A and B are shown apart, each in its own frame.
Chain A
Amino acid sequence: MASSTRSEAPGTTTENGHGLLVGLDVGGTFTDCVVVDSSGTVRIGKGLTTHGNYLEGILTAISSCAEPGSVEDLLGSSGFLKHGTTVGTNAIITRSGASVAMLTTKGFEDTLFIMRAHGRHVDLAPEEILNFTQTSKPEPLIPRKWVAGIAERVDYAGREVVRLDEDAVAEAAARFASEGVEAVAISFLWSFANPAHEQRAKEIVREQMPDAFISLSSEVAPKLGEYERGAAATVNAYLGPAMSSYLEGLRGMVQEHGFEREPLIVQCTGGVISAEHAAQEPLGTIDSGPVAGLVGSTALGAQMGLSNIVTTDMGGTSFDVGVITDGVPVKREITVVEKYECFIPRLDVRTIGSGGGSIIWVDDQGRLNSGPQSAGSDPGPAFLGRGGTEPTIADANMILGFLDPSSFFGGRIDVDRDAAEVALSRVAEQIGMSSPVDVAAAAVTITEHKMADLIRRVTIEQGYDVRDFVTFAYGGSSGIHAAAYARELGIDRVIVPLGSACSTWSALGAAVSNVRRVFDYPLFMDTPLEMGAIRERFAELEREGRQETLSEGVEEADVVLERYALMRHKAQVYEVPIPVDDELLEGDAQQLLDTFEERYETLYGEGSAFPAGGITVDTLRVEASGIVFRGSLPKAGEKSAGLAPEAKLPAREIYWPDLRESIDTQVYEGSALRYGDTIEGPGVVQSDETTVVVPTGATLEVDEFGSYLINTGASKEEN
């Protein structure tokens, strides 16, 4: 197959005056490049991901975007280059990170091994939890012999109880140096309240190990909780050397090809920071790919006037769900890295193992299941003929007729439809069904219900009714299933952003991301709150936030600061971030407490607040953004007068699981659809990388931004 492709999606203009915006996203199979230019178009390029050396695939994707021009022309006229990378994630999964050692408070050397006693079951699916013989804690990132306990102690108020044993630090560092340690994590108890011991220890280690990557827990994650803070420092140290060299390579490559500024790296906080800073805090790049799609959805949603959105991204192996409420993506404080929980605020994306590559199988009781095991892209679905013999959801979609064997990936990949049929027939026989089509329909229906269950769960967790949401569907496989799972939930609107180019949505999300960094101050102030002290601390955080954001190359006028107070009932465990606007900041303490109570009850249910035990402000936070994308997505101009003749492709026989029958179904060419075009279901819109399904009773309309709006016809009352 060709290793790159290029297409144009209608309609974006930018008003940022910074030149072209380049977004790069390295996925498991494809590397996507999206360029947003000032004339209102989005250019899209793709290359195969080159495992081992990602830079090759990146260059291919950029050059396919630049055609017919050169990479130098493109990068030379680019203002910002933003990159979502999986280098960090992969280094963890393959355990190919640095040799890390740790200094921690003597007596607490096992904290990273104890994992708060829940390391076995973190992130396990419910059906795995009782399988004690099949589940265990992860392999340690640090061998026990390289965890050195240092005599020192600080108490809850930040007071020194035992002075730092500097000799012990020097001794440990000398041993680490002689044993080939490359990176050192330093995590002492209560260091976020008083970082002096960590900072001094760093100086001593630096003397002994001038080239080592050193990560302080008080810098990486200044929050209460020695396990999650120490894990953050450890993972950061583990990734540090590899990330530094990767980002150096990236910077060298793009600068060699004419890009004059510093590349920006996507963070799981939903923003970008300079490659230089990202190399110091590589932890922030973990899971940044799925987050970028959520950022793009927030931006597009804002312009469409949508404030409650569920984002769904179905790729080859997983189904990722994010939630935007009142125009703001839902966040969480913890990132889980191979079962290690690390403090790092991030946009919350939940995942289940339901992707196109999910395997369809029969359990011991003769029940049909799909996933979580996946055939991924290697060997992939049976129809790819790369050695996969087990049927996948993609095989089911092929047999049902949703995927077109003759034009799969634009006809660049040969498809062996028979192989899919053989694989599904085997399951049919196992389960006593009459045909592979029945198995395919059953598996697709079961999978769509599982997806609906996940969406329902994440919206309920936010205290919302899922029927009040619209669904964004992107990624290679979402378009086939989105209308079905939305209907199941009583959601009547599905938006496929970029239409047929929705598989590159994460790269677009990267392109429109703003600079964003998070600054925390651990306050631990109980009621009665002293607003004066709170205002003072916020002012300090804002100063720091502004300064650091400017250092990313952002203009003064483009700096935006948002304040949050992370609050909790003392007798309860859940911490809730409360946005503190100017009015709340200048108001009295009661206003802040009332706002907290109201938000708490929205999240946890009416009457769930327990103020009798007192309320505490754990953390003050400033999120500092540097706005580098002020793009608006204007109307595409003239409405289409009607479907272009080339938009209609020959009809084909498709088996519709919801109707339980085959229908001769009209097929449309995605790249030929224009603003205003409308399609009545049943119909299928296909393009090189994506298929979008419009079931009977649903309609699809191309909107002014080039997105597909699907009205699912779901009735809220029935759900």
Chain B
Amino acid sequence: MSEQLMDPAREGASPWELVDERHYGHKFDGLDFSYIPQSGWRERVGDTVDLHTEAAEDIDLVTYQVVRHGLWNINEEHGTTVRKVSGSPIAHYANDLQPALLTEDGEYVYGGPFIQVMSATADLYVRWVLENYAEDPGIEDGDVFLADDPWVAGYHQQDHFVIHPVFWEGKIFSWVVGTLHHGDSGGTMPGSFCVDAKTVFFEPLPMPPFKIVERGKVRPDLERLFVRRSRVPDMVRLDLKSQLAGVHVAKERILKLIRRYGPDVVKASMRKIVDQAEDAFVEKLQQIPDGRWATRNYTECALVGDRNAYRMSLQLQKRGDYLIFSSDGTEPAYGSHNMTYSAWKCFIMPALNCTLANDQLYAMGGMLRRVVFKPNPGALVNALHPSAVGTAVAHNTVTSQAASVVSRMLCASETLKPNLNAAGGVSCGCWEGVGGVNQWGAPFATMSLDVMAGALGAMYGQDGGSTSGGLWNPTSSIPNIEATEQTYPQLFLYRRENLGGGAGHYRGGDAIVEAWIRHDSEAISTSPTGSGVAQPTSLGVAGGLPGNSTRFRHLLGSNVHEVFERGEMPDDIEQLDGEMYLTEPKEEPREIGPDDVWELKIPSGSGFGDPLERDPAAVARDVENERCTADFAREVYGVLFDGEGAVEEQATADQREAVRARRLERCTTRPEASGRVLGADEETVQMAEYVVGVLSGDSAEYACGRCRQVLGDADVLYKEHSAILEAGLDAIGPGFGDNVDSIDDELVWREFYCPGCGVRFEAELARKGEEFVRDYELVELTDGARNGGASSSS
């Protein structure tokens, strides 16, 4: 380490010092550890390449709006062109693509309305190309670089990026970058989700950027090299073609805009788009107090046959006009379920895009100036080469975690709280590769796209949408059952909403459950590639409950055909006889026999707030609309109905009191309630939905925001003052804990209650004996009261 190296945690340090490679003992060059541009990269590049930097000082308002819309349309047309030319189901249904428009030095001007995980990564490719290739082999007008190296950017090798400089009068004016998920890129498994991968060498070979197009001409040798590694080379060639068409269209339209308005005006508009997005983001940050928020999840079974759970921790710190994400405490990379630093960033972004930047028309560059992602080299979310990183089973859990920490943060901001969105939207891998011989005797292989039918987590003020996709892929879609059966030899028994949304003051949305049998086929197999089977991955906020876990079930040798003969249509796998096998999260392909049934249940959205706070009328609607049973309403929501289904108000109030009392009785740790209740005029600081702080001189205390009973000193985590239930996962509710035998680790479920009124503050997942998650800490309460507001970091 250099002598000048500053401690990034010191007071007044720039948060960007957290990404200085000298702190970590690894080069952040995209080889050993992921690429992170280091301070001064821009100046170093400046000597080797001509960048167009001139921008008009002032542009009039109309021109700005016209150019702004023009740039937006260019980027959208780029994405639409890729979808059109490719025509692939992945591009069409899953929308697994994203165009980007960047400045000359790789700052995002626009991302697009497609897959949101790709909104903080094209900048890395541009900067890597500038840093590494400006001198040799050079960057020329008409070049297109092709890349899929997750240690440079992107999140797994199946996503291929094309990176295209736009030149104006000999200088690089801007960049257009497009990404598209290709159907197969090689590796041990069809579709390239290689659950058996012990290292990246089992997976598609990561390719750092190379010039697939030189000065406007496709290199046929490199194209051949590229498509050769795929099982479907012709489709990959067409996908590549669609991407080249996309960047070409975008470049031509940018040049037209420059000719019309002048380069300086277009550049000034680009700068202003980014600046305005930054200002808007900062303005939002200023409505949030400084503090720290955290969550903890697990991902299980790193390889087929592995029986361990692996901790994933995420912390969010808000410090002045910056957000800092870190993954301290996350366990080391192992097996097939890891991700690179770039992937981790990618999957954090959707939670920010949808809550704090949804008014910026996908202009993410401004926000990225204010968000720091602290590296954690070697952790499973920041894997070193050559860890396996292609399966993307734990990736979605990062989005789920980010949604949780951002939601917790927004609980402290009255104005921004209505933007929060708790974890949901397919919170872990539940992928299902299907292959075999189709109804016409030809071989086939595909991934089920039905997993795109995720559910949203609860919001503040409304329930999460059922089967509405997710934050990471806001425009997803699933095929009709008939479209699937027309193409593949399957016959579905059911596909319906799974009623797995987490309970809460606002309920999480429900995802789907579906089952199928083999039909008109001699052979069909399916390979589960999942996580979140033994334990839930979309954890609730503020006492809301988790959405259901993933579940793969295989019923062997069932009587389904006899049942058909009898004129019955089974709509639950449990109605059938046969040998039930609860499938492990990751398995080798399983043959589906002629009488077998395969069922997939995907994870649902989590709840927000204590279910006992839910409006009884909303619970009545839930029961009427078959979203929950009357039993569940009574036990979890504490709502009772008369014979007509109308809420019995007094009985409901009594039942809710009884449930609260029962909660406290069940607690394994139960501190004495302080008995001291805050006066109505005593000022409080909102920290969590049901926890407030009270400042008095140089000390601070926590109190229950609901009954206003003082909990205790803010020197320690509020959880230390709470009544605590620690129990097995089955305590969460029906279905949870059914598959805990998949792992050897003992995971426990903890709920934290006000010892006075029994409102549920929060809940968490832990390995037995593990410390509490420090899920809420406001600087004002923890540090501020004692040292005059100076904050500490990390």
Which of A152, A365, A526, A572 is within 8 Å of B87, CB to CB?
A: A572
Interface residues of B in 476-523 (CB under 8 A from A): 476-483, 485-487, 491-497, 512, 519-520
Q: Pick from A153, A224, A461, A526: contact of B482, CB below 8 A.
A: A224
Nearest-neighbour CB distance to chain A for B88, whole angstroms, equals 7
Is A604 in contact with B84, judged by CB distance below 8 angstroms? yes
**For the complex, is A130 an interface residue (Cβ under 8 Å from B)?**
yes
Known A120-B469, A162-B568: A612·B234 in contact at CB below 8 Å: yes
> B238 and A608: CB pair below 8 A?
yes
- Residue from A113, A165, A571 whose CB has the most chain B CB atoms within 10 Å: A571
Give A149 to B93 CA distance when docked, in angstroms: 27
**A110-B465 CB under 8 A given contacts A571-B235, A604-B87, A612-B234:** no
Q: Which stretch in A92-100, A376-384, A441-449, A584-592 binds the other chain?
A: A441-449
Taking CB atoms and an 8 Å cut-off, the chain B residues in 77-122 that contact chain A are 77, 80-81, 84-89, 92-93, 112-113, 116
* Residues B567 and A132 in contact, CB atoms below 8 Å apart: no
Closest B residue to A133 by beta carbon equals B459
**CB of A561 closer than 8 Å to a CB of B:** no
CB-defined contacts of A570 to chain B, threshold 8 Å: 487
Q: Is the CB of B480 within 8 A of A227?
A: yes
Which stretch in A73-81, A137-145, A501-509, A534-542 binds the other chain? A137-145
The answer to whether B84 touches A608 (Cβ under 8 A) is yes
Q: Is the CB of B569 within 8 A of A224?
A: no
CB distance from B525 to the nearest CB of A (A): 20
Of B454, B468, B625, most A-chain CB atoms within 10 Å: B468
Q: In the complex the two chains form, what is the Cα distance from A117 to B511 in whole Å?
A: 9
Which candidate, A101-109, A263-271, A628-636, is the interface stretch facing chain B?
Answer: A101-109
Q: Are B477 and A118 in contact (CB under 8 A)?
A: yes
Q: Is the CB of A116 within 8 A of B84?
A: no
Assuming the contacts A118-B475, A133-B421, asked whether A224 and B467 have C-beta atoms less than 8 A apart, the reply is no
Q: Which one, B60-68, B161-169, B688-696, is touching chain A? A: B60-68
Cβ-defined contact, A121 with B481, below 8 A: no
A162 CA to B485 CA, complexed, in Å: 16
Within 8 A of A (CB), among B420-472: 421, 439-440, 452-454, 456, 459-462, 465-469, 471
B87 touches A155 (CB 8 A): no
Are A120 and B480 neighbours in the complex by a CB distance under 8 Å? no
Residues B242 and A608 in contact, CB atoms below 8 Å apart: yes
Q: Which residues of A contact B361 (CB under 8 A)?
A: 126-127
Interface check A190, CB cutoff 8 A: yes
Judge whether B571 is part of the interface by a CB distance below 8 angstroms. Answer: yes
Do residues B354 and A132 form an inter-chain contact, with CB atoms below 8 A? yes
Proximity string of chain A (144-178) to chain B, C-beta cutoff 8 Å, 1 when within and 0 when not: 11000101110111000111010000000000000
Q: Which residue of A lies closest to B72 (CB)?
A: A126
Residue B245 at the chain A interface, CB threshold 8 Å: yes
Return A373 CB to nearest CB of chain B, in Å: 15
Interface size on B, residues (CB 8 A): 94
A121 CB contacts on chain B under 8 angstroms: 469, 474-475
Bound form: Cα–Cα A31–B85 in Å: 44
Point out the residues of chain A lying under 8 angstroms from B362, CB to CB.
126, 130
Separation of A144 and B623 alpha carbons in the complex (Å): 11
In the bound complex, do residue A152 and residue B569 qualify as a contact, i.e. CB atoms below 8 Å apart? yes
Q: Convert B226-242 into 0s and 1s, putting 1 for each residue whose CB lies closer than 8 angstroms to a CB of A.
A: 00000000110010011
* B residues in contact with A113, CB < 8 Å: 466-467, 497
Q: Are A107 and B571 in contact (CB under 8 A)?
A: yes
**Interface 1/0 per residue, A641-655 and B, CB below 8 Å:** 000000000000000
Find out whether the CB atom of B280 lies under 8 angstroms from the CB atom of A156: no
Per-residue contact bits, chain A 679-719, to B (CB 8 Å; 1 contact, 0 not): 00000000000000000000000000000000000000001
List chain B residues, Cβ under 8 A from A120: 465, 468-469
Determine if B69 and A450 form an interchain contact, defined as CB atoms under 8 angstroms apart: yes
The A-contacting residues of B in range 343-364, CB under 8 angstroms, are 353-354, 357-359, 361-362
Cβ-based interface call for A181 (8 A) = no
Question: Given the complex of chains A and B, what is the CA–CA distance between A137 and B485 in angstroms?
Answer: 26
Query: B461 CB to closest chain A CB, in angstroms?
Result: 8
Within 8 A of B (CB), among A524-581: 524, 526, 569-574
B235 near A608: Cβ-Cβ < 8 Å? no
Docked Cα-Cα span, A441 to B62, in Å, equals 9
CA distance A268 to B460 in the complex (A): 41
Chain B residues numbered 598-628 whose CB sits less than 8 Å from any CB in chain A? 624-626
From B421, B474, B492, B568, contact of A129 by CB (8 A): B474
Chain A residues whose C-beta falls within 8 Å of the C-beta of B596 in the assembled complex: none
Check if A17 is an interface residue, CB within 8 A of chain B. Answer: no
**Within 8 Å CB of A152, what residues of B?**
569
- CB of B569 within 8 A of CB of A151, answer yes
Q: How far, in angstroms, from A156 to B755 measured CA to CA in the complex? A: 59
> Given that A114-B497, A116-B479 are contacting pairs, would A368 and B84 also be in contact in the complex, using a CB cutoff of 8 Å?
no
Contact A106 B478 (CB under 8 A): no
Name the one of A105, A108, A118, A610 contacting B469, with C-beta atoms under 8 angstroms. A118
Instruction: Encode B283-322 as 1/0 by CB contact (under 8 A) with A.
Output: 1000000000000000000000000000000000000000
Q: Are A226 and B468 in contact (CB under 8 A)?
A: no
Residues B482 and A225 in contact, CB atoms below 8 Å apart = yes
Decide yes or no whether B655 CB sits under 8 A from chain A.
no
B240 CB to closest chain A CB (Å) equals 11
In the bound assembly, the distance between CA atoms of A572 and B568 in angstroms comes to 36
Could you tell me if A143 and B625 are in contact, using CB atoms closer than 8 angstroms?
yes
Q: Is the CB of B483 within 8 A of A225?
A: yes
Question: A610 near B113 (CB under 8 angstroms)?
Answer: no
Tell me, rounded to whole Å, the shortest Cβ–Cβ distance linking A56 to chain B: 39
Q: Which residues of B sit under 8 angstroms from A107, Cβ to Cβ?
A: 492-496, 569-571
| Residue from the list B87, B276, B520, B624 in contact with A574, Cβ < 8 A | B87
Contacts of A149 in B (CB 8 A): 569, 571
Chain A residues lying within 8 Å of B242, measured Cβ to Cβ, are 605, 608
Chain A contact residues, CB within 8 Å of chain B: 105-111, 113-121, 126-127, 129-133, 136-137, 143-145, 149, 151-153, 155-157, 161-163, 165, 189-190, 224-228, 363-365, 367-369, 431, 433, 441-442, 445-446, 449-450, 453, 456-457, 460-461, 524, 526, 569-574, 603-605, 607-608, 610, 612-613, 719
Extra 14 A-B pairs, beta carbons < 8 Å, given A107-B495, A116-B479, A117-B453: A107-B569, A108-B481, A110-B495, A114-B495, A114-B496, A130-B357, A131-B358, A132-B465, A133-B459, A151-B567, A156-B439, A162-B564, A442-B62, A446-B66
Can you pick out 28 interface pairs between chain A and chain B where the beta carbons lie within 8 Å of each other? A106-B571, A109-B496, A114-B453, A114-B495, A114-B512, A116-B477, A118-B469, A126-B76, A126-B362, A133-B459, A133-B461, A143-B625, A153-B491, A189-B481, A189-B482, A224-B486, A364-B280, A364-B359, A369-B65, A446-B66, A461-B80, A607-B85, A607-B238, A608-B84, A608-B86, A608-B241, A612-B234, A719-B256
Q: Which 4 A-B pairs have the closest CB atoms?
A: A107-B494, A572-B87, A130-B358, A151-B569
- List chain B positions with a Cβ less than 8 A from chain A: 61-62, 64-66, 68-70, 72-73, 76-77, 80-81, 84-89, 92-93, 112-113, 116, 234-235, 238, 241-242, 245, 256, 276, 279-280, 283, 353-354, 357-359, 361-362, 418-419, 421, 439-440, 452-454, 456, 459-462, 465-469, 471, 474-483, 485-487, 491-497, 512, 519-520, 564, 567-571, 624-626
